[in-house]
Chains A and B, each alone.
Chain A
Amino acid sequence: MLCNPTEHQISRRRFLGTAAGVAVAGGLGGLFSAKAAEAMKANNKQVLFVWLDGGISQLESWDPKPDTLFGGPFRSIPTSVPGTHVSELMPACAKQMHHLCLVRSLCTKDNDHSSGVARIQRGDPKNRGVLYPFFGSSVAHLLGPMESNLPPYVVIKEGQGGFRADDAGFLGPAYGSLAFGEGKPPEDLLRNPLLTETEDEERNALRDVLNRRYASQRRPSLTEASTFAYDTARELMRRQDIFDTSKLPAKDLERYGRTDIGTHMLIARNMLESGVRFVKVANYGWDTHGDNFNSHASLVPKFDRAFASIVEDMAASGLLQNTLVIAMSEFGRTPRINGHAGRDHWANSWSLAMAGCGVRPGVVVGATDDTGVEIKDGKYDIGAVFHTWFKALGIDSEERQYKHKGQPLPLAHEDMTPIKEALA
């Protein structure tokens, strides 16, 4: 026998923390409380986080200002939600607008990439002298892995992959991300060709026997942690199909676009369907200080196809009901157009898009003025956005806290609250 289900459950529960403990208990007995049901529901939640690194221009995407001082050359087009317009560079997303929730009134504090990228993804809480986790690490920590036992926080990106402990901040490296560079699995993920699957299973079975013997004379917790690591490794190896780009259906590739972001988004769909808790798709090259309009004319449609397709597919399959979808950057771009026909960094008034579980579909939150410079209505910092995401996932960020070395720490900026209009 390869794995003992009881041990399995114990190590999983250890990893998952209390919420899952409740869910497991609820599944076993008749003590199914409302709280347990809540925890169970929260435990089905997943996240797709699309990161457009460098800063997508809100004016060439979610908040167009055609025929104004800073509006640029592109027109706006109507969407599936009457009254809501987006840039003409996003015809596919326009058709999915009834699933989307736009926030057009983000006002954040950092317009520098090197600090802003991390600052936004850590939710920019008050300084407590600790490094806060990226949203993905938070979710991995608070909700744990899914039933699939696949790693809870996976990143699909261009460039190098690997294990990234930094993401986890004070939560510790166990909650870091597993990154698939170029959509490819990290080194040593594939079974060595010198070994058949049966041989691999046999030697692992023996390792289990040795470990059980060793643990029987010692405290079991370390061996449990090892068992969990090897089990997760096996799950990942078994599910090689989920990141095998050669197996992606041609029809879907056509729809998503044969581009980096298109392929990566398709892999993301596979991963979400296979039971990865948090999938981040990172796309680069959005820092358009020069030639903003040609760049966006090339970049936005690639994003548009990929993003609209995955939202459409997830809505059709029902996955969207349990999945929080987010598309954003570290900031937007200046309304003022610089001397190189570019737009610079702009944190004062910019946009993001959301969809899926807990989010109110088909609405636009907040508004900017005609020039796009000032926020007219409902100014929100990233802390409020974090509260909104947590709420959407069924996590009460105004009540619940992290515990770090005995110090209670809020999940998100404690002076901020969720964006009510954005929540279902």
Chain B
Amino acid sequence: MFPALPRSVTPKATGILIGALVSICAPYAGAVQVDAAFLDKQIAAKADAVGVKLSGRCEDGEFQRRLWLDLVGTIPSAEEARRFLADASPQKRAALAERLLADPRFPARMAEALHLQLMERGGEDEQWLVYLTNSMKANKPWDVLVREMVAPDFKDESKRAAGYFMTRRLDKVGSQTTDYPGLTRDVGRMFMGLDLQCCQCHNHLTVNDYKQIDFNGLFTVFQNLKLNEPAGEYKIKWLSEGLMEAKFEFTSVLSGVKGSTGPRVPLGQEIDIPSLPEAERWLVAPDKKTKLGGVPKFSALQNLAEKLTSKENPQFARNIVNRLWWQFMGRGLVEPLDLSHSGNPASHPELLEQLASTMVERQFDLRWMVREMVLSEAYQRSGKKSAAKQDVADELFALALERRISAEQFLRAFLTAAGEFERVLEKKGWDEIKETPLDPKKVQTSFRNAFANAPKEPELKVDPSLRGALFLRNNSTILWALQPRPGNLLDRLLSMEKSEAIAAELYLSFFSRLPDKDEAEEVGSMLSASKDRPKTLSKIAWAMAASMEFYTNH
């Protein structure tokens, strides 16, 4: 069990009371089996306590769409969707989850989701994505991954690309050539769930747990790094570390109180700076000829990365658990994701603590937690309002929350639905149609421009924009994909006679479900009034692609 965060704020709300109990009663008696069933018990207990009824399971169609988007980053084809709906096995949901977890697209999707969270559209780099994907393929433990990112070994070619997180985050913003405070803040946010920005200059004004020393213990380490241009065998920007011989001194701009710190993980213990005789300070002395920086015997960065990712740092495990929960459930157990402190306890404190300690026991196995989450009832809940129509707080997870689809997910889902995925993204089937092939990179960029946030704007919420609306309305690729062409959706629809079959194909293609009676009739009446069948079908397909049911992961 982890030591609780310092608790300097008196709990007020009932939800917070549970948090207080947890920290008082720790450690827990006996080992708890932390699995999908445990997650569900925890969610149910809280809902019970406040008298809220949990919504039931979502329908199979909604489930498969959700699971596909989450695990493989796209939606199933109409044929896949139909097969799943027709499957009578009671175990089919678990079986689908296992199948998709073993799909080669799963590591790629996890890498993409991590990339979006870590880089926040601050940059793209192919090698970085390859590194993340390979790491996810190997199910590399999160602590190992973070050590490789925070204290990158540029000499090791297989891990060099991990350094992109640090070098890109450190690289210039606006008129500044480097951004050390920004990097410091981001390491706190991404790996500990703490936004320490305010603490560069003073103790946090509203968060008692965050002190000036917490920022500067990280800052002193990063400030000691030099960002180097590509040189020699390093074809990418790289970092070198200087000697650290003294503590970093700082003064509060508000109180004038002075402080000092060596390398230190926020909320943790300071790392001693050893005093070494001058001749012994470098393991490898800097070489002026090759311009490669030296390697200090005492590497503050290595030490910090070890401590940051160690079992003794409870925030490290809490943070990744919270971020994964957010990714799959639509809301963190702690919100905002980067504002974890004792005055802002988790919605389900015991759940968070047990997940975090189990994560440590299981050597930071991300796939384990993903699997337990998608098998839980909490994940499979319906997103539709319950009959009671009460407005239920998101943090109860009483119904599935609508989640944002990334630009990349949207692109793949749209092309899958339109039946143009292989042609556009895999460059197949152009010969038979005598059209100039579309450039997949350009198509990706145009979707990104339409749906991605600006750099450093985290993509946390569903956020319909004018830009996205104009793109869907007028972009030529969208209209192009919804024209009949051998093997695509429109082509299939035009080969069908009965409006029921057409409606089913449309709804399976876009929403992974079958239409209800009204929806099927709506398609039927549009078709019977139509004078130009291809145009009418294209219009219906477009309306579905531009609808909220398609735009969100629900």
Identify the A interface with B (CB < 8 A): 112, 114-115, 118, 129, 151, 162-163, 165-166, 172-174, 176, 178, 186-192, 194-195, 199-200, 202-204, 206-207, 209-211, 213-215, 217-219, 222-223, 225-226, 228-230, 232-233, 236-237, 407
Contacts and interface: CB of A to CB of B under 8 A. Distances in A.
B474 A192 contact: yes
12 contacts: A112-B175, A114-B174, A165-B457, A173-B454, A176-B454, A188-B450, A192-B474, A203-B539, A206-B526, A217-B384, A218-B384, A219-B385
Contacts of A204: 473, 543
A414 B552 CA distance: 42
Contact of A115 (B174, B526, B540): B174
Contacts of A189: 470, 474
B548 A163 contact: no
Contact of A207 (B391, B522, B535, B546): B546
B479 A229 contact: no
A188 B471 contact: yes
B521 to A, nearest CB: 12
B458 to A, nearest CB: 11
A223 B468 CA distance: 14
Contacts, number: 124
A127 B543 CA distance: 46
A151 B466 CA distance: 9
Contacts of B384: 217-218
A115 B468 CA distance: 31
Interface of B: 174-175, 197-198, 206, 383-385, 391, 402, 449-450, 453-454, 457, 462-471, 473-476, 479, 519, 522, 526, 535, 539-540, 542-544, 546-549, 551-552, 554
The listed residue with most B CB atoms (<10 A of its CB), out of A172, A209, A218, A236, is: A218
Contacts of A190: 474
Contacts of A163: 465-467
A218 B174 contact: no
Nearest to A235: B466
A214 B539 contact: no
Given A188-B475, A191-B474, 11 more contacts: A163-B467, A165-B453, A174-B465, A189-B470, A207-B546, A209-B543, A214-B549, A218-B402, A225-B464, A230-B469, A237-B474
Contacts of B174: 114-115, 118
B140 to A, nearest CB: 34
A188 B476 CA distance: 8
Nearest to A172: B457
Contacts of B462: 222
Instruction: Tell me what chain A mostly uses at the interface: helix, strand, loop, or mixed.
Output: helix
A151 B206 CA distance: 36
A165 B453 CA distance: 8
A165 B473 CA distance: 21
A207 B543 contact: yes
B471 to A, nearest CB: 5
A222 B548 contact: yes
Nearest to A194: B479
B175 A173 contact: no
B344 to A, nearest CB: 12
Contacts of A225: 463-464
Nearest to A186: B470
Contact of A203 (B197, B383, B543): B543
A203 B197 CA distance: 47
Contacts of A186: 470
Contacts of A165: 453-454, 457
Contacts of A176: 454
A202 B469 contact: no
A173 B465 contact: yes
Contact of A229 (B383, B465, B542): B465
Nearest to B253: A127
Contacts of B544: 210
A114 B177 CA distance: 12
